[in-house]
Amino acid sequence: MANIKLTGGHLISHALKAEGVKNIFTIAGDHTLPVMDAMADDGFNFVDTRHEQAASFMADGYGRITGNLGVVMATTPGMANAIPGLANGLHSESPMLSLAGSAEISELGKGANQEIDQIALASAVTKGAWMVTDARRIPDMIAMAIRTAYSGRRGPVHLTVPLDVQEQEVFEEDFKA
């Protein structure tokens, strides 16, 4: 059996596809490009907006109307612009997943380019906010986040996935059922 490598970006894409996600409400940015490349390969529909706030409100509306997971993806400080839509989703009980890229883990806390504390921001307007620090945890963390979004009173959840985690390579065979 060949040792095929996947990136963290591919693991995110595959996990969301397995959950039935088809649409991503986003604005492209440097810290989300590895995930976007993988999602493009997997046939996701990108609703590319001009502002993160619009993307988050679209994900809220999509989740509320369809009952399906509304996914908003933003990059670094743009994630702060998604806060109003996440707050609306929390009060409207919309199942949502906020995904955000960030600088590499080793750079966080050192004034990295466009660095903000996304977890602190998202915690106030979501049912849970977490940072993925190892690509091998991506499938489990996405599944846990989505379960949280749908459990009890529905609402948004947030995952920050640093750039180095999106680019981290893992063996595909480690993720086969």
CATH code for the domain in which residue 68 is found: 3.40.50.970
Question: 118 in a domain, yes or no?
Answer: yes
Q: What is the pLDDT of residue 175?
A: 67
Question: Looking at the 3D structure of the chain, how many domains does it have?
Answer: 1
Question: 100 in a domain, yes or no?
Answer: yes
Question: 84 in a domain, yes or no?
Answer: yes
Q: Kindly tell me if the per-residue pLDDT of 131 is higher than 50.
A: yes
Question: 174 in a domain, yes or no?
Answer: no
- Are residues 24 and 177 in contact, defined by beta-carbon separation less than 8 angstroms? no
Mean pLDDT of 22-50: 95
Full residue range of the structural domain in which residue 77 is found: 5-169
d(CA 115, CA 126): 20
Site of tokens 């949502």? 96
Q: What is the pLDDT of residue 174?
A: 76
Question: 176 in a domain, yes or no?
Answer: no
Q: What is the pLDDT of residue 127?
A: 99
Q: Please state the φ and ψ torsions of residue 3, each to the nearest 5 degrees.
A: -90, 85
What is the four-CA torsion angle of 86, 94, 45, 120, rounded to 10 degrees?
Answer: 30
Question: 105 in a domain, yes or no?
Answer: yes
Question: 144 in a domain, yes or no?
Answer: yes
Alpha helical stretches, state H, the chain? 8-18, 33-41, 52-66, 78-81, 83-92, 118-123, 138-150, 163-167
Q: 22 falls in which pLDDT band (50, 70, 90)?
A: very high
Strands 23-26 and 96-102, bridge-based pairing: unpaired
Q: What is the pLDDT of residue 103?
A: 80
Mean pLDDT of 145-164: 98
Reduce the DSSP state of residue 177 to 3 states and report it: coil
Q: What is the pLDDT of residue 4?
A: 86
Question: 175 in a domain, yes or no?
Answer: no
